[in-house]
A and B are shown apart, each in its own frame.
Chain A
Amino acid sequence: MSISSLIPRSGKVRVGLVIVIIFVVLAAFGPLISRHDPNATSFDMLEPPSGRHWLGTTQTGQDVFAQFMTGARTSLLVGLLAGVVSQVASVAVGLLGGYLRGVADDLLYILTAVFLVIPGMPLLIVLTGYLPSRGLLSIAIVIAITSWAGSARVIRAQTLSLRNREFIEAARATGESRMRIMFFEVLPNMLPLVASGFLFSVIGGILSEAGLAFLGLGSLTTTSWGSMLYFAQNSQALLAGAWWWYVPPGLAIAVIGAGLALINFAIDEYSNPRLRTGSATKGTTSSRAAGGDATSANAQVSGIGSSATPAPGGATGATAEHVALTEERAAEADPELVPHVRPSPMPGAPIIEVDSLRIDYPTAFGTVHAVQDVSLTLRRGEVLGLAGESGSGKSTLTNAVTRLLRPPADVAGGAITYRAEDGTATDLLHLEDRELRALRWNEIAVVFQSAMNALNPVTSIHAQFDDVIRVHRPGLPPAERTAIAREHLERVGIDAERIDAYPHELSGGMKQRVAIAIALVLEPDVIFMDEPTTALDLLVQRDVLDQIMRLRDEYGFAIVFTTHDLALLLEISDSIAVMRHGELVEYGPAVDIYRDPRHPYTKNLLSSLAELGSLA
């Protein structure tokens, strides 16, 4: 680890860190460099900033700069103290409740709810109103008492989800004590949450202290930014136009608060990759399509990655994969490793043609080629099986055809053509938004990977049928739209009466059938199915599969079926395309690939299937 790798890449975080460091330095050394005693009065009353008084003077002739520096110390100290105390309380309550469950959790949950709902500021005011003497510590503790609850609830939720993970189960099995598991196994896995909670507690502490001091309820003997504002307000500094008195402390609170919140951006983006914005993304490979693919690819590639140059400190998945990919290409001199493509004997007219498609993900470490020079032809009524491990680029490929590719994925070359029944060709990659919308679902429908998330959880099944029919068949009266929806539910073997159900009221298999029924509703020519059966248990999987094949015979649509399950594809597909590291390694009729695999990778896959007894 070199020092440079410790500097965060995100500009927002850098700015945040710089702000916070500046204020910490001011708080630590500021009072030493100011030449005046913050409390000493003088006859220079209400003077604007000058060489003698850098930030002018107050009505009683005190030096505002000296007060500001002392105020920085007070505010940061109270914020830090309140932050620490409040975060310790949230972690204790959240961890104990979430891990122990049962009565302890119920009680702690209710306790948290009480402090969450009762408004903090009035409670704070009442509590400090009763404090006989108000020192910094007692103020900080009172602030912490009123502010720990929000973070405790977040930590509890995270503990609940972590406690059933395998590594925690394993720790329990080895007989580790509960305290040890909680603080050494669970806690380290939610440090981002704790850190983020801490930052917000510090901000909250600084703001609360300022608010209290502004009301004259702060520590009366210490100068803080809040008390400066209190005196400024009470001496009508506003009306006197003494901006130098009340602008600096308020601005300082806002700037340090923003600084801490900016640092929190990094934590947010770390724990939720979807939040990474364009510029911040570049270093870390993100976006929906790439996210899953690239990182998991790295996991697999690194095994093979052999002598790849040791990744520098801040390297992410992208580098390792990139390195591995270049190596892979160097190996292509071996004639066995070139792609093996056999012509498809399928009759039917072509419906989708992919021609030399190349898709790149730009990253800070170079470009990752997610799809390299892939050509495919799908014919009417054909079932094309697209096989490959996670990260092979198969999802990127299908997302390109369905135009669901998200930035920063970039089509670097090639073409995708859709051919209508009368032979008219449509360039899918260069379609206007309106034309694309008209084509979607009418011609190309999609059944998504996990039926769990493919349906909108908050609207009824009826509504999810209805919107697509309404948009694409504008003239149709509502009663007819409902009739179409009901008919299609029946087609996939679901009682039409369930049409008003919400997704959470259906089983996994039923949700998958509903997704298929919705895909059929406009009778498209092609349906893309992305692992439609993976999340289901075996019997249901078989059932859904049979249903799909029956419907195919009935409607005659073509299917592009994506899965990592080659055995399944051999059974249902007319042709099979095998992808690896973004390349098409083998493509041809399913029967030929089964009998006579030519690429070593396909051979390996088939022989391992044979060993498992998955092939008849």
Chain B
Amino acid sequence: MRYLLKKLGLYAFIAWAALTLNFLIPRLMPGDPVRVLIAGSEGQIEPEAAEAIAAQFGISDDPLIIQYGRYLADLARFDLGVSLSNYPVPVIDIITGAMPWTVILVGVSTVVSFLLGTALGVLLAWRRGTWSDHVLPALTFLNAIPYFWMALILVLILAVTLGWFPYAGAYDRTMFPELSAPFIGSVIFHAALPALTIVIGSFAGWVLQMRNMTVTILGEDYVSMAEAKGLPSRMVLFGYAARNAILPSITGFALALGAVVGGSMLTEVIFNYPGLGYTLFQAVSAQDFPLMQGLFLIISLAVIVANLIADAAYVFLDPRTRQGA
């Protein structure tokens, strides 16, 4: 388990780095956020209020290290400050309200996209040198389409023109949020189009990676040996080739997840989906710095946890990492 412990240590460090980055950004960026805020308010905030806002913000003339200590102490109490645009709602409350929407929407669509893309990648690798090679340029094109534009086109076709799906919100506004079948049905109905966008926008990347990796692995001696053993193609492909080819996909999860999360945030904005991405967009538009930072922190931590899970799965799949257990 040394491998996992090492990873755990690394992620703990990354989490700390994210916390610290979050602390430093407002203090090190050129320009004073408080002044930006007052300038942006077009006279609605009196310059005299500057000090009060700065205090609210945790920015003061105290030495950085004392500010940092206070920041960490606040974090330990889950105190992320108070939202400026929804004054005086605590940032943590806004985040906990938005989080489930994103976790479910992005979580489910990422898993679906990973499974779909990986399976298709193996299939294309197995059938390489045939019609399947002509699918590659199309997938490359699909992979390069910006999520938000894809969302716009899907909205146009499926929501506006055909009217099959709603194009905004997370559930029917006339309904009261509760754990009832009609409400859950409405949630799924509203999530379908954003989820479809995320899946279509991201699965091609998994296909291309898995296809290239499987093609490479198919040239390995152990695959030839499996074939020479007279095993059925299915066993050669899944037990030997794909089983090894999936490993880099899992280590590459960090890279991909960041992109998926980024893309999903834009998707949420287009669908007015009340998740973290949409909230971050609103926070940035309203220059609600405390909310912005709280969101950045939570999204980073969520991605770190997802990576930790991917690494644990890796240990399970690759015996070489279990050495010295």
Contact = CB atoms under 8 A, between A and B. Distances in A.
Q: Do these two chains really belong together in a complex?
A: yes
Interface of A: 12, 15, 110, 113-114, 116-127, 129-132, 150, 203, 207, 210-211, 214-217, 229, 233, 238-239, 243, 246-247, 249-251, 253-258, 260-262, 265, 268, 272, 274-275, 277-279, 288, 402, 404, 407, 436-442, 444-446, 448-450, 453-460, 467-468, 471-472, 502, 504-505, 515, 518
A214 to B, nearest CB: 5
B117 to A, nearest CB: 16
Contact of A118 (B21, B130, B295): B21
A287 to B, nearest CB: 8
B73 interface: no
A117 B310 CA distance: 12
A159 B229 CA distance: 38
A130 B11 CA distance: 27
Contacts of B243: 456, 458-459
21 contacts: A110-B10, A116-B255, A117-B300, A118-B304, A123-B21, A126-B284, A130-B29, A211-B266, A215-B266, A229-B152, A250-B149, A253-B145, A254-B144, A254-B146, A257-B145, A278-B128, A278-B129, A407-B129, A446-B225, A456-B226, A504-B319
Interface in B214-232: 215-216, 218-222, 224-232
B261 interface: yes
Interface stretch (B58-66, B76-84, B133-141, B171-179): B133-141
A417 B299 CA distance: 65
User: Most chain-A CB neighbours within 10 Å: which of B155, B222, B228, B303?
Assistant: B228
A250 B152 contact: yes
A256 B146 CA distance: 11
Contacts of B149: 210, 229, 246, 249-251, 253-254
A135 to B, nearest CB: 12
Contacts of A150: 255
B231 A467 contact: yes
Interface stretch (B30-38, B45-53, B88-96, B185-193): B30-38
B164 interface: no
Contacts of B303: 117-119
B228 A261 contact: no
A162 B41 CA distance: 56
Contacts of A233: 152, 270
B140 A278 contact: no
Contact of B239 (A211, A404, A467, A472): A467
B202 to A, nearest CB: 13
A122 B136 CA distance: 30
Interface in B239-254: 239-240, 243-244, 247, 254
B86 interface: no
Contacts of B247: 458
Given A121-B263, A440-B230, A441-B230, A250 B145 contact: yes
Given A211-B266, A471-B230, A502-B319, A457 B293 contact: no
B20 to A, nearest CB: 10
Given A404-B224, A504-B319, A288 B219 contact: yes
Nearest to A253: B146
B126 interface: no
A456 B230 contact: no
Contacts of B160: 238-239
Contact of B13 (A110, A249, A404, A502): A110
A119 B257 contact: yes
Contact of B231 (A126, A214, A449, A468): A468
Contacts of B259: 120-121
A386 to B, nearest CB: 17
Contact of B137 (A214, A215, A258, A445): A258
A407 B254 CA distance: 36
Nearest to B26: A130
Contacts of A449: 221
B296 A471 contact: no
Nearest to A450: B221
Contact of A132 (B30, B244, B289, B317): B30
A121 B262 contact: yes
A454 B323 contact: no
Contact of A125 (B29, B226, B280): B280
Interface string B194-212: 0000000000000000001
A515 B229 CA distance: 12
Nearest to B307: A117
User: Most chain-B CB neighbours within 10 Å: which of A211, A265, A436?
Assistant: A211
User: Most chain-A CB neighbours within 10 Å: which of B152, B287, B289, B300?
Assistant: B152
Interface string B120-132: 0000000011100
A116 B303 CA distance: 11
B158 interface: no
Contact of B292 (A110, A126, A439): A126
Interface string B140-163: 110111111110110110001000
Given A238-B160, A454-B221, A214 B229 contact: no
B143 A261 contact: yes
B115 interface: no
A275 B212 contact: yes
A472 B235 CA distance: 13
Contacts of B30: 131-132
A437 B231 contact: yes
Nearest to B31: A132
A268 B155 contact: no
B285 interface: yes
A124 B180 CA distance: 39
Contact of A122 (B152, B230, B254, B295): B295
Contacts of A502: 319-320
A127 B29 contact: yes
B184 interface: no
B187 to A, nearest CB: 24
A127 B22 CA distance: 10
B228 A445 contact: yes
B103 interface: no
B313 interface: no
User: Most chain-A CB neighbours within 10 Å: which of B30, B219, B244, B265?
Assistant: B219
A262 to B, nearest CB: 6
B318 interface: yes
Contacts of B254: 116-117
A404 B148 contact: no
A198 B297 CA distance: 29
Given A121-B262, A277-B129, A437-B231, A250 B153 contact: yes
B18 interface: yes
A273 to B, nearest CB: 9
B17 interface: yes
Given A217-B284, A471-B229, A277 B21 contact: no
Contact of B14 (A15, A117, A458, A459): A117
Nearest to A460: B319
A122 B221 contact: no
Contacts of B219: 274, 288
Contacts of B156: 238, 243
A121 B268 CA distance: 13
Nearest to B270: A233
B237 interface: no
Contacts of B68: none
A413 B284 CA distance: 71
B225 A122 contact: no
A459 B238 CA distance: 12
Contacts of A442: 230
B141 A126 contact: no
Contacts of B289: 129-130
